[in-house]
Amino acid sequence: MVSLNKEYNQIVNLTKFNVNFSKFIHNNDLLSHSPDYILEKYNHWIGFEPTVEHKMYTPDDMIDFFLNYWKRWRVYEKYSLEVKNILMYLYSTRRMNLVQMSEKFEEYIGPMNLISDVPDKRGLHHLTERFVNEVLEKNKDNVKVVLRDMKIGSII
């Protein structure tokens, strides 16, 4: 899956990050992942501190999720600033639509061009890696749209 295209590598790393928390992988549930684990995977696949200001509000469709998450992990004060925007991003991109992932990433975390562009990062089971390839294949038209947007963004 090695690509010399920086932007494509960034899309692959974003997809790998999302797949890590995907409900499509062995009954994965976002609630089951600790803030530490989320931050570890975020730093591995994404690799930069979010640039979007911490969201104080919680969108209506996420209120129940966050109540359950903070109740389960009981670490709100320690992690709310570090992980809330990342959780908001992951929660809003569960369908694995690459255009939506790109839009929500920029809304909740920061510019796509800051995502790590290191190709072939290890860290996923080989079956999960295969699922990443399926997600990218099913999103091939969306990959083109996001690549176009990233290229335009780098020119502007």
For helices 76-92 and 63-73, the axis angle rounded to 10 degrees is 140
Is the per-residue pLDDT at 75 higher than 80?
no
Query: H helices of 21-62, where?
Result: 35-45
Q: What global pTM score does this model have?
A: 0.88
Largest CA distance in the chain: 44
pLDDT per residue over 88-134, tens digit each? 999 999 999 999 999 999 999 999 999 999 988 887 887 888 889 89
Mean predicted lDDT score pLDDT of the chain:
88
Give the pLDDT band (50/70/90) at residue 4: low
Is the per-residue pLDDT at 135 higher than 50?
yes
Say how many C-beta atoms besides its own lie within 10 A of residue 33's C-beta. Answer: 19
Distance of alpha carbon 119 from alpha carbon 106, whole angstroms:
21
pLDDT per residue over 45-73, tens digit each? 999 999 999 888 889 999 999 999 988 98
Helix, coil or strand: residue 99: helix
Distance of alpha carbon 129 from alpha carbon 61, whole angstroms:
30
Region for 50 from its dihedrals, namely left if φ exceeds 0, alpha if ψ lies in -120 to 50, beta otherwise: beta
Strand segments (E) across the chain: none
129-to-70, 80, 97, 106 alpha-carbon distances in Å: 30, 30, 17, 24
What is the chain's Cα-based Rg? 15
139-to-5, 15, 34, 41, 133 alpha-carbon distances in Å: 17, 10, 29, 22, 10
Q: How far is CA 126 from the centre of its chain?
A: 19
